[in-house]
Structure 1
Amino acid sequence: MIKRTYVSFSNRLKISTKLCLLIIFIEVINQFTGGFFRSFGIIPRNISGLSGIVFAPFLHGGLVHLISNLVPLFVLTLLMLSHGRTRFVLVFTTSALIGGLLVWFFGRSANHIGMSGVIYGLFGYLVVAGFISREFKLFIVSCLVAFVYGGLILGVLPTLPQVSFESHLFGLLVGIAMAFILGKDPSYKS
């Protein structure tokens, strides 16, 4: 088990801001290249689409798609860092990589891009881990996330053809699994 470490609020703000600025920077370059980077998304069951598992979270279908992901990414990253930097990195990368691999295996034939799979992973972790941790502060974070972002759960349903509900679903499942794996801090005394 990985011990939870403290990350100051100012460092949480810096990390969340830098992550969002990186994604904005990539989208600005993408806009100037006519959307060239979008071709590096996850294309299920296609060998060339495997690289999308790494690149897809940082690519977006335009400014509206980008903006719709920035606010929840910023807020959930900020809250996820209350579980520690190492746990944040593990949940973020596992949601991106394992979630992306599941999309590659089971997703519909489309080009899957965007940070929403990771956002759903962070959401799933935050909602479940606070209950598992038995720590009041993290329990309150779980309740807050469930209340504010509970509507995300509808995103795992296949409602719009241009939305990768598969990324949402697999990101959420990976985040919940990571909560059960990492959620309880072994140093916590009841």
Structure 2
Amino acid sequence: MRGRFLLPVLLLGLAWAQEVFDQVLFSGNWNLPMGPGLPWWGVLSAPFSHSGFGHLLSNSVIFLVLSWLVLTRGVRDYLSVWVAVLVMNVPIALLWPTRSHGLSGVIYGLLGYLLLIGWIEKKILPIVLSLVAFWLYGSAIMALIPGISPAGVSWVGHAGGFMAGLIAAWTQGNDNPKAT
């Protein structure tokens, strides 16, 4: 049980290792974003790439909290959010004209999952998780609206992650025998 809660710490460790490597060896110029004309594997590396320690730090705590909330439901649910976000990143990387990177797409995926799962399952634990997620991070939903996000922030990456989280909740909630 405790081991599953280490998974987000390990994933976050990859992001921190990439940023340290980038800052020490490349003066912050070695980013691994996804976007037009970039290698396909950018879809996989983008969540671990950030534009500096401030960017990474702003994502770290939120990522851990939301990850642990989803992991109270199980590793399968957590991985379904990650897979949905990575799949949703493919059309964004191919069609959106600017580059994007950072854990925020995954963060919005985790938030979307948590907000919907309680409504789908109508059970106490999922409802409590939804309410806690909304109480902690509900105001972040405003950043999904074009023009509200600050310049240089990929609102489409956030919106894609959020939609991916909704899809993951829908598939997990409707596939979960405990939900009936």
TM-score, normalised to structure 2, is 0.89
Q: Give the whole-Å Cα distance in 2 for the aligned partners of 1:189 and 1:171.
A: 24
Identify which of 112, 120, 134 aligns with 1:132: 120
Counterpart amino acid of 1:115? L
Q: What SS is found at the alignment partner of 1:130?
A: helix
Tell me by how many angstroms 1:185 deviates.
Answer: 5.2
How has the CA–CA distance of structure 1 residues 14 and 189 changed in structure 2, closer, same or farther, with 3 Å as cutoff?
closer
Q: Percent identical across equivalent pairs?
A: 29
CA distance in 1, matches of 2:104, 2:75: 20
Match of 1:145?
133
Q: Does 1:37 align with 2:30?
A: yes
After TM superposition, the structure 1 = structure 2 runs for residues 1-190 of structure 1, keeping only pairs within 5 Å, are 8=1, 10-32=2-24, 33-38=26-31, 40-44=32-36, 46=37, 48-95=38-85, 97-107=86-96, 109-158=97-146, 159-184=149-174, 186-188=176-178
Structure 1 position 134, deviation (Å): 2.3
Instruction: Identify unmatched segments of 5+ residues in structure 2.
Output: none
Q: List 4+ stretches of structure 1 deviating above 6 A.
A: none
For the aligned residues, what is the CA RMSD? 1.8
1:130, distance to aligned residue in structure 2 (A): 1.9
> By how many angstroms is 1:51 displaced?
2.5
Give the number of equivalent residue pairs.
Answer: 177
- Contact kept in structure 1, 2:119 and 2:127, CA below 8 Å: yes
CA distance in 2, matches of 1:151, 1:186: 29
Aligned position for 1:3 = none
Q: Could you tell me whether the CA contact under 8 Å between 1:41 and 1:51 is conserved in 2?
A: no
Range moving further from structure 2, 84-93 or 13-22: 13-22
Structure 1, unpaired ranges of 5+: 1-7
